[in-house]
Amino acid sequence: MGLIPRILETLRLMIGLPDYQRYVAHCQAHHPDRPVLSEAAFIAERQKARYGGSGNTRCC
């Protein structure tokens, strides 16, 4: 990973923005039998998990 992508990833992590590409890679590696959410659905689900108070922010 180059410097600029690493800086952008760090900034996203600092402010809590979800990383869709990382989510897709995780799902393909660990949950190949499950459907992958669209980017819009993924962001909506992450925001609901973060601000909706469900308390569950992890898939596994």
Listed residue (58, 26, 60) closest to 45, CA to CA: 58
pLDDT tens digits, residue range 27-41?
999 999 999 999 999
pTM score: 0.63
Quick one: average pLDDT of 12-26?
86
